Each structure stands twice: as C-alpha cells, then as structure tokens.
Amino acid sequence: MRQVKDQLEAREAAALLGVKLPTLYAYVSRGLLRSVPGERGPARRYPRADLERLRAQRDAGSGRAAAAAGALRWGEPVLDSSITRLATGGPAYRGQPALSLAQRDAPFEAVAELLWSGSLPKRTPAWCVGGLGVSLTRLRSLLPGRSPLLTGLSLLVPALAANDPGRFDTAPAAVLPRARTLLKRLAAGLALVRDPRRIERALAARSIAHTVSIALNAQGGRRAVRALNRTLILLADHELNASAFAARVAASTGADIYACEAAALATLTGPRHGAASERVEALVTEIGQPERAERMLQERMRRGERIPGFGHPLYPGGDPRALPIIEAARQLDPGAPGLHTVLALIDAMREAGRPAPNIDAALVALAAALKLPAGSCAGLFAVGRTAGWVAHVLEQYEADYVMRPRARYAGGPGVAGA
C-alpha cells in the first residue's frame, strides 16, 4: 500500500507538476526525474518524493518564490488540511462551527474526538487514566518554586515519553489512546507548579473541564466547569498557527506524539503566541484600578507601544472567540476586581477606536472571574490546543512526507577559499 501511495502514474505525475505528458517524459530523459517499473504491464511509475522535489526546485527559480515566502507571514495557505476552516465567524472544526459547539455545551472530549476522527461522538467519551504516569516527587524536585505553568507541562511531557517504550508507533490506533491519556494528564498537570496535591483528585474528575477546574482551583462550581469547557472548545484548534505548524514539522519526520507535543509546547511559550496572555496579565496588574485604564492606554499610545490582547490579523472585525468568553466571565463574577480592570481596558480601547479584544484578553478576563493563579491562561491554552495539535499530527502522519521548505539565499557572495 505504501508503494502505491508513494508512486504515481504518468498522468498523475504530470498533473502534480502542472505539465503535459511530453514534458514529463523530457524530465526523465534529461535525468531530472526517475521512473520505475509498474507492478503490472509496461506502464512506468514516478516517485512522489522526486516529483515534489522537482516541483520545489522549479518554483524556487520562478516568480513564485516571493509568493511562497509571503505565504509564511499570514499569507496564502501553504498546505492542504481537512481539520479547521477559518472564517469571519471563527473556526469550524471538520465543518462544525466552534462557537456553535461551545454554545450547545458539547463536551470538550467529544470535540477533540471530532478533530481527530472527523465525527462527533453521540455520547460523552470517558477518558480514564491510571495516575500521572511519572514520579511526582522527581518532577517537583526539578521545578523552581515560581515556575510558569507551561514550564511544568514542558517538563511533564518528556518525562511521560521516557516512561512509554511503545511511543514510536505512529498508527492512529496506537496514537489515539496515548493522546487521550496525555491530554488528561496535562490538564491535571496544571497543578504541578502551584499545588501538586490537587493532581490526584484532578485525574479522578469525569471531564477535562472539571480536571482543569480542580487543578487550577477555579471558583464558581458547576458554572466554572461549564465556562471552562466552552473555553477549551474555542481554544481547541486554529488552523496552522505557529505551534500547530511546529507539531506538524516534528510529525513529518516521524517523531512520536510526545515529541510533537513538546515541539508545540515549546513554540507556545513565545510571547507572541500562547504566552501573550501573560503580557495582558502584566498590563492589567500595571493598570491596577479600573479608573486608570484610560490614562494608561493614552500613555502607551503616546509612546507608540502596542497594547497586548487586542486585534488579530485573521479577524479585522474582532476575534469572534473572545466575546463568549468575556460574557461568561461577566456572568460568573461581575464583581471580581481584576475583571473590572480588564473590562475597563476593553472599554477604553473601544472608545479610542482601537482593535477589539482577542482571545488572550478574553482568557485574562475569565481567569480573573474564576480567581485562577497567575499564568493560568497560558496553561489553559496549552490544554485546549493539544486537541488540535494531535489532529495535525495525525493528519501529517497520514500525509507521509517531510516538511522541508526552501530558503532564498540573501547573504553576500562569501570569501573565496573560506
């Protein structure tokens, strides 16, 4: 089956290159392309890897090089995917709008299965795990007292990998059980840095949202769990963001699911990605009182500083994922001091004609309403987005090619003899 998949017939090969059959045959005669005997009859077949290499070389030397370079900067699509479609109304997972899934309180676990398999389970999946899977004492001994939550998760993942000798099997039947267990342990692992005593109880919770609620000591009971479930759904995937792309690059080399998760987590820690919420938290702390929001905004605008947590290149009219999360925060605890400050900043931005809040500001608002510890937003982001990362890893395993873009050399001629 692998041989048929990796070798194309002449017409398929010509279509991939965008050329006619005589041109295809000319490539072979000039030694630019290999052809191999088919399984039946005289028809020759053409290795897909050779075809893609030839197409990349040809495109790099044409006017398409500039367009390809621009595509990696919020530009045109760079690969095919059947996971998530982005539109002005927000992401749609396998054709189902994420906002609709959240509003009707679909279980986060079911949404994860939708991303992984393409179909939404009729019953809530039951994900059970037998403990954290690693020595909690050893993990804690490696963590400084006030480490970011993402540092704890980044330590947990390779530790789990080291204790799973069968992790190198990339077949879906082997990856999916590991993905379910990994996601549950990551959710409980949110307590690793601040209060590891919560991990055992968090692992015993029936849902991922409840696990997160226990791990982060969220205030609000069932309403908090419901808000967290909706938020996890809205975080689950966002097409080829930086962390998903990193996961796919790792998966394209055949790296195991833990290695792909580690690559995604490392990328998420960047202040322009998952850790952007920490910049919003710092700004809210700096503002302090709600009445200072407008003055602080004016001072930053005077200095030409960007306001974190607002605007999104893919949503010029406003991030549709942010509004339901902010509204949930209002309903949970409208009197929360930190929430008042976030809302005052949002109002000041609107009155100044500045961009609308994005999901990072929304997460900070929710964290304030739930009275979550500092840095929780990035951890919550990592748990929710793991569902999407797994989906991208599975899709890349199935695609079965190494992601290896080309660079346009822009340096000098160099020194002779060097």
CB atoms within 10 A of CB 323: 16
Half-sphere exposure (CA, 13 Å, Cβ side) for 259? 13
Quote the number of domains for the chain. Answer: 2
| Strand, helix or coil for residue 84 | strand
Q: What is the pLDDT of residue 76?
A: 66
Same domain membership, residue 390 and residue 287: yes
Q: What is the pLDDT of residue 280?
A: 93
From CA 122, how far away is CA 108, in angstroms rounded?
A: 13
Distances (CA, A) of 326 to 205, 230, 285, 359, 378: 26, 12, 18, 9, 16
Q: What is the pLDDT of residue 364?
A: 97
Domain range enclosing 27: 2-60
pLDDT at 208 over 80: yes
CB atoms within 10 A of CB 122: 6
Q: What is the pLDDT of residue 55?
A: 81
20-69 pLDDT, tens digit each? 888 888 888 777 888 888 766 668 888 888 888 788 767 655 555 555 55
As a whole number, mean pLDDT of residues 215-236 equals 97
| Strand, helix or coil for residue 77 | coil
- In terms of average pLDDT, the best of 20-24, 210-214, 330-334 is 210-214
From CA 323, how far away is CA 329, in angstroms rounded?
A: 10
Same domain membership, residue 297 and residue 189: yes
As a whole number, mean pLDDT of residues 272-296 equals 90
Instruction: Decide if 413 is inside a domain.
Output: no
Residue with tokens 């630019």: 32
Instruction: Decide if 76 is inside a domain.
Output: no
Q: What is the pLDDT of residue 64?
A: 57
List, in sequence order, every residue forming a beta bridge with 216; answer none if it has no partner: none
Query: Which residues are tagged catalytic?
Result: 312, 360
Instruction: Decide if 235 is inside a domain.
Output: yes
DSSP H or E run through 47: strand 44-47
From CA 340, how far away is CA 104, in angstroms rounded?
A: 27
Backbone angles phi, psi at 281, to 5 degrees: -60, -45
pLDDT band at 414 (very low <50, low <70, confident <90, very high): low
**CA neighbor of 232 nearest in space, from 92, 357, 379:** 379
Same domain membership, residue 123 and residue 30: no
Q: Residue 245: give its domain's CATH number.
A: 1.10.580.10
Give the list of residues 6+ apart from residue 149 with CB closer than 8 angstroms, or none.
190, 192, 193, 194, 373, 375, 376, 378, 379
As a whole number, mean pLDDT of residues 112-118 equals 97
Average pLDDT, the chain: 90
- Token digits for 154? 């980044």
As a whole number, mean pLDDT of residues 199-203 equals 96
Q: Residue 10: give its domain's CATH number.
A: 1.10.1660.10
pLDDT band at 3 (very low <50, low <70, confident <90, very high): very low
Same domain membership, residue 125 and residue 43: no
Same domain membership, residue 121 and residue 26: no
Same domain membership, residue 298 and residue 218: yes
Share of the chain above pLDDT 70, in %: 91
From CA 278, how far away is CA 285, in angstroms rounded?
A: 10
Instruction: Decide if 80 is inside a domain.
Output: no
pTM as predicted: 0.82
pLDDT at 379 over 90: yes
Distances (CA, A) of 13 to 33, 78, 121, 314, 401: 11, 20, 38, 35, 16
Q: What is the pLDDT of residue 2?
A: 39
From CA 369, how far away is CA 331, in angstroms rounded?
A: 9
